[in-house]
């Protein structure tokens, strides 16, 4: 147990070590977390009246963020596939950082589910799983499983490196391959949550799961490019340009596929122009004078197109600033398009034809921001602990090992 104890204490020490800007960043995140916590307590006290959700629009910002973040977590697998399936050594070095991202993001996912539940005190009622018919049950199972898998893989690799040993392949590679399949499954199941709803024609489409995966594999690696650049510049991680270039290639393809899927869906809905297209009309053009989502979705499309252009044009992606702008565009564009841009139109019009607009309330905004800050804090701390181990500067003292 002693090495494990040392592993933990050493990691905690790494987390506390940092310059002035590091502490400002941590304080900034903690402030948001405190605000989010206060907002959540308010929501607990008064009930969901603190949100802008109504019976017509029973899910909003929380579930939109949840959906997006499940994709983010699945997107981390895009590092793993080339590294382990195709033995791409450039990506091998950064796989652990990608899986740590998955851990942080999954924590956010579970937090978004928790804050969306009207009775969090009854979470233990999951002992009566409605399996296998409820997609939400599936989702809870696969998300927790994926979290456990990633925590195990990263924990094992980092711990053995901390002890100065080489990770044994047979102790983690099978789990890596399991995680690859699992990553696809978490986002598929999340898509099925929506596409299984016969009552909601906007979601009831087979393209949803492929579209979810395509957008996830665009947004996830985009975030990784930014995160890895920061790790390289701020923490001195020896990152090969080849690794970033590989990620850039992935986004170039997935973003184009994502745009194609989205276009296919728009065409199918609008060309036939049946009543079921009302949600799509609401999203793109507004319905009965309700145009809440129109500016958002067109901004998202613009951002997605911009990202696709950047990632495929050499003159643009060569410049780091433009590449990072493209990454940000992909991250935000997919966030809008797959978050609010997918969840809300499913509720408009309501099953009885009512058009009710939804914009998150201040409470929902604060709670969501708090959860994002929590995720950022977790990822920051995990990187802070993991990078020195990867670099070999944090090692188990020889006397402790013996």
Rule CB under 8 A: which residues touch another protein?
41, 44-49, 52-56, 58-59, 113, 116-123, 125-126, 128-130, 132-137, 140, 193, 197-200, 275, 278, 288-290, 346-347, 349-359
Q: What is the DSSP string of 225-294?
A: HHHHHHHHHHH-----HHHHHHHHHHHHHHHHHHHHHHHHHHHHHHHHT-GGGHHHHHHHT-BTTB-TTH
Rounded to an integer, what is the distance from CA 165 to the centroid of its chain?
32
Rounded to an integer, what is the distance from CA 249 to the centroid of its chain?
20
List the end-to-end C-alpha distance of the chain, in Å, as a whole number: 12
Q: How far is the CB of 11 from another protein (least distance, A)?
A: 34
Based on CB atoms, which residue is closest to another protein, 353 or 398?
Answer: 353
Based on CB atoms, which residue is closest to another protein, 117 or 230?
Answer: 117
**For residue 323, what are its two tokens?**
């590449």
Rounded distance, CA 210 to CA 213, Å?
A: 5
Q: How far is the CB of 298 from another protein (least distance, A)?
A: 22
Based on CB atoms, which residue is closest to another protein, 52 or 254?
Answer: 52
Based on CB atoms, which residue is closest to another protein, 45 or 170?
Answer: 45
> Which residue stretches of 273-361 are H helix?
278-284, 294-312, 314-317, 320-338, 340-343
Task: Note every long-range contact of 82-85, with CB atoms under 8 Å and residues 24 or more positions apart, other chains counting.
Answer: 82/246, 82/250, 84/173, 84/176, 84/177, 84/180, 85/180
Q: How far is the CB of 21 from another protein (least distance, A)?
A: 37
The partner residues of 287 in beta bridges, in order of sequence, read: 290
Q: Element (H or E) spanning 354, and its range? A: none
Q: How far is the CB of 71 from another protein (least distance, A)?
A: 19
**For residue 60, what are its two tokens?**
């909003």
Based on CB atoms, which residue is closest to another protein, 234 or 281?
Answer: 281
Q: How far is the CB of 371 from another protein (least distance, A)?
A: 17
In our burial notation (b when 16+ CB lie closer than 10 A, e otherwise), range 362-399 reads ebbbbbbebbbbbbbbbbbbbbbbbbbbbeeebbbeee
Q: How far is the CB of 313 from another protein (least distance, A)?
A: 41
Based on CB atoms, which residue is closest to another protein, 146 or 311?
Answer: 146
Based on CB atoms, which residue is closest to another protein, 87 or 125?
Answer: 125
Based on CB atoms, which residue is closest to another protein, 237 or 358?
Answer: 358
Q: How far is the CB of 58 from another protein (least distance, A)?
A: 4
Q: How far is the CB of 111 from another protein (least distance, A)?
A: 14
CB 186 within 8 A of CB 74: yes
């Amino acid at each position: 147990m002693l090495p494990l104890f040392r592993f933990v204490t050493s990691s905690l020490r790494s987390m506390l070590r940092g310059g002035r800007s590091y502490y400002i960043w941590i304080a900034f995140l903690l402030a948001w977390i405190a605000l989010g916590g206060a907002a959540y307590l308010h929501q607990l006290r008064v009930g969901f009246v603190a949100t802008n959700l109504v019976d017509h629009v029973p899910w909003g910002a929380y579930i939109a963020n949840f959906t997006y973040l499940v994709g983010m977590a699945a997107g981390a697998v895009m590092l793993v596939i080339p590294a382990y399936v195709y033995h791409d050594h450039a990506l091998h070095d950064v796989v652990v950082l990608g899986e740590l991202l998955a851990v942080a993001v999954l924590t956010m996912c579970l937090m978004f589910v928790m804050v969306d539940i009207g009775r969090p005190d009854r979470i233990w009622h999951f002992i009566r799983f409605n399996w296998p018919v409820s997609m939400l049950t599936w989702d809870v199972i696969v998300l927790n499983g994926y979290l456990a898998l990633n925590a195990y893989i990263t924990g094992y690799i980092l711990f053995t490196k901390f002890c100065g040993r080489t990770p044994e392949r047979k102790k983690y590679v099978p789990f890596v391959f399991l995680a690859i399949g699992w990553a696809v499954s978490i986002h598929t199941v999340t898509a099925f949550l929506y596409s299984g709803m016969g009552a909601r024609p906007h979601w009831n489409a087979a393209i949803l799961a492929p579209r979810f995966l395509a957008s996830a594999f665009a947004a996830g690696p985009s975030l990784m490019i930014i995160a890895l650049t920061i790790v390289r510049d701020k923490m001195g991680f020896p990152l090969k340009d080849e690794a970033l270039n590989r990620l850039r290639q992935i986004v170039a393809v997935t973003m184009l596929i994502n745009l194609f899927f989205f276009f296919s869906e728009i065409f199918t809905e609008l060309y036939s122009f049946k009543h079921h297209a009302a949600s799509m009309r609401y999203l793109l053009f507004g319905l009965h004078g309700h145009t809440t989502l129109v500016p958002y979705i067109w901004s998202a499309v613009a951002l997605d197109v911009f990202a696709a252009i950047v990632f495929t044009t050499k003159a643009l992606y060569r410049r780091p600033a433009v590449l990072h702008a493209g990454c940000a565009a992909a991250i935000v564009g997919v966030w809008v398009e797959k978050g609010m841009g997918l969840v809300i139109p499913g509720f408009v019009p309501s099953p009885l034809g009512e058009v009710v607009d939804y914009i998150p309330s201040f409470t929902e905004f604060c709670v969501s921001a708090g959860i994002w800050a929590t995720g950022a804090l977790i990822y920051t701390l995990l990187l802070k602990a993991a990078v020195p181990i990867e670099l070999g500067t944090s090692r188990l003292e020889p006397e402790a090992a013996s």
